[in-house]
A and B are shown apart, each in its own frame.
Chain A
Amino acid sequence: MLGYYVKLALRGFGRDAVLTTLVIIATGIGIGMAATTLTILRAMSAQPIPQKASRLFAVELDNWGPAASQNALNRDQLSYADAAALLDARRAQRQTAMYALSFVASRQGTEVRPVLATARAVGADFFAMFQAPFRAGAPWSAADDAGAVVVLGAQLAQRLFPAGDALGRTVELDRRGYRVVGVLAPWHLQPRVYDLTSRLYQPTEDVFLPLATAIDRQMMSYGSIYCQRPPAPGWNAWLHSECRWLQFWVELPDAAAVRGYRDFLRNYALEQRRDGRFDWPPSFGLYDQRAWLARENMVPESLRISSLLAFGFLAVCLVNAVGLLLAKFRSRGRELDIRRAVGASRRQVFCQCLMEAALVGMAGAIPGLLLAALGLTVERALVREDYAVFTHFDAAAALLTVALAVLAALCAGVYPAWRASRPRSAWRLGSAT
C-alpha cells in the first residue's frame, strides 16, 4: 500500500509542478536555516568529553566572602592557598590545579625560528582526566613532578621537530631547557572546557609542564587573574594572596564520591572559618561539564537572538507550506472523490495525502541541506573563531536536517490532508470542479 501511495504522490508532483516546487523551496529554505541554527547550538552546548559526563567536576570556592562584589565572571578560579590545600588533601580519585602560561619556544643550535607558544601548568592527572591523546611518551611520573619536563602539543612538536623525533629531546622555553617526556596527537577540545575564563576562542595548548615546576620557577600566570585588592609585592606574597588565578578540576567515580567531596569542601571552608581566614558560611560549588558550560555562559547572546529568529522563520515557512499544500490537495479534489467513490476509506485518503506531504518534505531536505551547509560556511567566515571552528556539517547534522524536513512536512501536511479526506457531497462529482 505504501508503494502505491508513493507512486500516486510522485504522479501528483508532476501534475502541479509549480505548486509543488514552491512548497519544496519554501520548506527547504526554512529547514536550512533551522538546521544551521540547531547545529551551531548543538556544538555550543555539547559536552566536550561526554565519556566523563558525570565524573569530571570543576571546583569553585569563595575566599572573598559575600561582602566583596562578585559577579559570575570572577568566581570560576581558586586562590593558590586553597588550591594547594585541596591538592594536599588528595580527596578525589584524580585532581589537578592549573593555570595558563606563555613562552617563546625554541631549539638550541638549530635553524628553527623561535615561536610563541601557549602553555599550561598542570598536574600529572590532567591528561587522564581530560583524555588528552598521546602520540608518543606519557605524562611525567611522580618522580619528575617538579622537574624540567614537558609534554608538547602536536602542532608545536611538528614545528620544532619536523623529523618527528621530539621524545626525549630538549626544548627551550624562554631560554631554559626542558626534556620532552610526551607528545600529544592533535587534540581538538571544543569548547576548551577546562579553562573558559577568557571570552576569546582558545585551542588546546602547545606545551604542558608540571604545576610544581611552574610554581618553583616563579612563573607568573598569563591567563585571567582576579584580585579583590592588589597583592603585596614578591612571589611568596603572591602565593599567599587571596587573588584567584588557578582552575581546579577533580574526577569523582560515583555519586557517593561526589557527596563525600562536597562534605570535604564544606569541612575545609568551616576549618578556614575557625582559623579566622573566612568569616562567612561555607560557599563553594562543584560543577559537572554541562553545568560548567551553562554557568560560563558559552552561548553568546547574538547566537541566541539569531536562533530565535531562525525558528520564527521556520514557522513562517511551515505556515506557507500548509497554505500551498491546501491548494495542492484541493486542486486534486476530483481524483480524491473518485478514489472515495470506488471504496477508499477516509483513513486511506488521509494517508495518501500525508505521504505526499512527507515526500515533499524529503524533497525539501535537498535545498535544506544545501542551504544548511552554505549557512554554516558563511557563519564560519563571518564570525570570530569563538565558535566557528566547532561547527562543521557532519553526518549527524545532515541526518538532523532530513529528519527535521520530514517532521516539518508532516506537521504542515496534517491539516491539509485531513481537509482533503473530508467527505464531499455526491453531486460535486458530476460538476465541473
Chain B
Amino acid sequence: MQLRPIASTLRYNATGVVIIVLQIALTVAILCNALSIIQQQRLRMARPSGVDEADIFTLRNRWATSGTDGDFESLTRADLLVLRGLAGVIDAAAMNSFPLRGYGLTWNVRLRPRQRLPSASSVAVYAGGEQALNALGVRLVAGRWFRPDEIAPFSVSDIGGVSPAEVVITASLARALFPDVGTDAAAVGRVVYLNANASTDVAAQTPTRVIGIVQQAQTPWAAVDGTSLPDRSSMFWPYQYVAPTLAYVVRTRPGRRDAVMRAAEQALFAADPNRIIDEAYTFRTTRALMYRSDRALSVTLAAVSVLLLAVTACGVVGTTAYWVAQRRRQIGIRRALGARRGDILGYFHLENLLIASGGAGLGIALGVALNLAIAAMAPVARMSGAFLGGAALIVLALSQAAVLWPALRAASVPPAEATRSV
C-alpha cells in the first residue's frame, strides 16, 4: 500500500504536519463543546412554562393615584370586569407576577412546625385570585382549585400575617416535598407550614393544606442567566394581590390574542385614565426577552463553529496546495512511471486522512479536557460521546472535502513534469 511513502513524506514535512494536526485537534475540541452547549441551551429554552403560551398576553398596570389598599382593590376588581367583558377573552387575572417575568415573590416551605431549615426554599408565590388558573391556562392534574369564597385580599403590608389555609402547588414541588408519595393525587390533603420556623410560637404556626396539584408552572426567574433559584417550584395562594402596581394576565380564545391586546389597553384607559400601562407583551415575547442571552450564546457558538470550520478548511487547502507545488516533480515522476490520475488523487486523500485522524484523536482528548475546564466556570452538562464522535466525523469530512481541490490540481500534473528541470 501507499502508507510507506506517505509516512516518509510526512516525516520530511514534519512541521507542516504538526500544524495541521494541531489545527484539527483544536477544531474538534472546540466544535464538540460548542455543539454540546448549543444542545444544552436548546433543551433549556424548550422547558415548558406550564401556561397557555400562544393565547396569553400580559401588561403592567400602575395606578397614578395614591390611595389605600381598599381603593386599589376596588379599582383592580373593576379592571378585571372590563377585561373579562372584552370579546374573545377566556379569563383575566391580576397577579403579583407570572412565569418568566424576571422578578417575583419567594417563600420558604416547611413540613413541620418549629423546623429550623426549610424543606423547600425560595419557592415562587403566585397570588392572582381564583381567575389565575384559567388566565394562565395551567393544567390542574389532581385535587381542586380555589373556590371564590376562599379568596381573600392580600397586600404587601399584610405579609407578616399571611397564613393561607389552602395552597395549590406544582407537581415538581409536590415530588420534592413528599418523595414518599406515589402519585400526584396522593399529595393532595398533605400539610405544609408557611409561616413557621424554629423561633415562632407554636400556637401561631398554622398548617396549610395542599388542595390541588398543577402539572407545571415555571417560576418568574426560570430564564434568568446564572440564577441559582429553583425554576420549577411554584405555589398558588388563595389571595387576590392588592398593590398600586399589578401584572394583568389575559388569556384569549385561539387567534384572538392580538386583536384583544389592542382593544384591552383602550378599554382600560376608557374606564379610568389615571393609570400607566407598560410592558404589554404577548407571552411569546416575554419568553423571547427572558431567553435572549441564552439565544445569544447559541448564535455566538454557532458562528464560532462555522468560522472555525472555514478557517481550518483554508488551512488544509493552503498547506496541501503548498505541498503539491513543492512535490510537482515527484508527482510527475510517479505519473511517468504509470500512476493514473485517480492514484494521485487517492494518495493525497489518504495522506490527508492519516493526518486528520491523528488530529481528531488528539482533538477528542482535548475536547474532554476543555469540557472539564468549562464545567469549572459554568454549569454545563458533561458532554456525551456522541458530540465527540460527531465533531470528529464532521472535521474529518471537511478536511477530506478541502483537500479535493489541491489533490485535483496534483492529479492534473502531466507526466512530462518528470523531464523538466526547472
Contact = CB atoms under 8 A, between A and B. Distances in A.
Contact of A200 (B103, B274, B296): B103
Interface in B7-36: 15-16, 19-20, 22-23, 26-27, 29-30, 33-34
A102 B66 CA distance: 12
Given A237-B160, A315-B26, A316-B311, A301 B226 contact: yes
A309 B301 contact: yes
Interface in B75-123: 102-103, 116-118, 121
A309 B36 CA distance: 13
Nearest to A385: B292
A73 interface: yes
Looking at chain A's contact residues, the main secondary structure is helix
Contacts, number: 188
Residue with the greatest number of chain A CB neighbours at <10 A, chosen from B20, B221, B304: B304
A212 interface: no
B380 interface: yes
Contact of B293 (A19, A67, A232, A383): A383
Interface stretch (B164-172, B177-185, B370-378): B370-378
Interface string A235-248: 10110000000000
B400 interface: no
Given A305-B37, A323-B319, A25 B314 contact: yes
A233 B228 contact: no
Given A302-B294, A324-B318, A69 B311 contact: no
Contacts of B255: none
Given A116-B278, A384-B292, A200 B102 contact: yes
A228 B64 CA distance: 32
B225 A29 contact: no
- Chain A interface size, as a band, is 35 or more
Contact of A383 (B66, B296, B378): B296
B308 interface: yes
B62 A104 contact: yes
B318 A300 contact: no
B197 to A, nearest CB: 5
A308 B295 CA distance: 17
B15 A326 contact: yes
A104 B373 CA distance: 49
A336 B301 CA distance: 42
A199 B222 CA distance: 12
Given A33-B307, A67-B116, A200-B103, A305 B315 contact: no
Interface string B263-300: 00000000000101010000000000110111111011
Contacts of A71: 228
Contacts of B373: 308
Contact of B16 (A73, A200, A326, A382): A326
B31 to A, nearest CB: 10
A262 to B, nearest CB: 29
Contacts of A200: 102-103, 224
B226 A300 contact: yes
A304 interface: yes
**List of 9 A-B pairs having minimum Cβ-Cβ separation, nearest first:** A323-B19, A301-B378, A382-B296, A302-B297, A327-B322, A384-B292, A104-B64, A320-B315, A174-B66
Interface of B: 15-16, 19-20, 22-23, 26-27, 29-30, 33-34, 37, 62-66, 102-103, 116-118, 121, 156-162, 195, 197, 199-200, 221, 224-229, 244-245, 274, 276, 278, 289-290, 292-297, 299-301, 304, 307-308, 311-312, 314-315, 318-319, 322, 325-326, 329, 370, 373-374, 377-380, 421-422
12 contacts: A26-B314, A67-B116, A69-B118, A175-B66, A199-B224, A220-B157, A233-B159, A308-B373, A312-B29, A382-B295, A383-B293, A419-B15
Given A301-B378, A306-B304, A384-B290, 10 more contacts: A67-B116, A114-B64, A114-B276, A200-B102, A233-B161, A301-B379, A312-B30, A316-B312, A322-B19, A323-B23
